């Protein structure tokens, strides 16, 4: 890695930590520069404004959460496999990076118009086509009598929300259920399959014997 790339990565590493902790409004460029061990002039050379730097960090986080789901949804796998893969992916990603959901959600709430526009400009161009493919797959499964009628939007949102919620509410959940870190991680490991099983059981029609 060259000197310029190394400096930029140090800036982004510092910015991730500070923005994840304090958000856009609470962070200061001076403290990011200090954490990256550079001066403010050097920081502004790479990122002209705090918003530019925050947008970079936000998109980086968003792209870890969204495109993989589109890839799974757009695959030729059956519906059961897709549901299991999406559940496993989200729970594994958030186990490794538990700060992501709170950061992304709080960023959108802080400046909804700006970040909705940012997200819209950066989702895959074929996202609507892929969702259309999922709708047809769900409709076909319903026609065959395999599943109940369900709006694909509810299916995806339920999967994502059920995966994200424990991480977003971790401090409260660990307190309510008396879980230490080891117990919480064991709980999350269970949810990699439990969420998918719950969703599948809610939509699968039992075959008459």
Please give the residue that has the higher pLDDT: either 207 or 169: 169
| C-alpha count within 13 angstroms, C-beta hemisphere, residue 116 | 5
Mean of all residue pLDDT scores within the chain:
88
pLDDT for the residue numbered 5: 77
Q: Please write the tens of the pLDDT for every residue from 39-69.
A: 999 999 999 999 999 999 988 888 887 778 8
Q: Which residues pair with 204 in a beta bridge?
A: 147
Residue 73 to residue 130: CA distance in whole angstroms: 7
**CA 149, CA 204: separation in Å to the nearest integer?**
10
What pLDDT score was predicted for residue 155? 85
Q: Which domains does the chain have, with CATH numbers?
A: 3-49 (1.10.10.60), 66-203 (1.10.357)
DSSP 74-93: TSSS-HHHHHHHHHHHHHHH
Which has the higher per-residue pLDDT, 201 or 102?
201
**pLDDT tens for each residue of 121-168:** 887 778 888 888 888 899 899 999 999 988 888 888 888 889 888 988
Residue 23 banded pLDDT, cuts 50, 70, 90:
confident
């Amino acid at each position: 890695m060259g000197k310029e790339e190394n400096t930029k990565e140090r800036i982004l590493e510092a910015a991730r930590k500070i923005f994840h902790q304090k958000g856009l409004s609470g962070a200061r460029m001076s403290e990011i520069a200090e954490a990256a061990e550079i001066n403010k002039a050097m920081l502004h050379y790479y990122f002209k404004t705090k918003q530019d730097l925050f947008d970079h960090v936000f998109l980086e986080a968003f792209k870890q959460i969204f495109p993989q789901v589109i890839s799974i949804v757009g695959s030729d796998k059956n519906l059961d496999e897709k549901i299991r893969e999406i559940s496993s992916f989200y729970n594994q990603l958030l186990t490794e990076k538990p700060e992501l959901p709170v950061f992304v959600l709080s960023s959108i709430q802080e400046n909804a118009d700006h970040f909705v526009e940012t997200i819209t400009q950066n989702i895959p161009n074929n996202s609507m086509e892929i969702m259309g493919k999922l709708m047809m797959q769900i409709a076909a499964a319903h026609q065959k009598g395999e599943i109940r009628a369900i709006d694909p939007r509810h299916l995806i949102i339920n999967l994502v929300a059920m995966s994200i919620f424990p991480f977003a509410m971790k401090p409260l959940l660990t307190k309510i259920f008396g879980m230490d870190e080891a117990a919480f991680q064991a709980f999350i490991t269970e949810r990699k399959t439990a969420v998918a099983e719950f969703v599948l059981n809610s939509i699968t029609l039992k075959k008459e014997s």
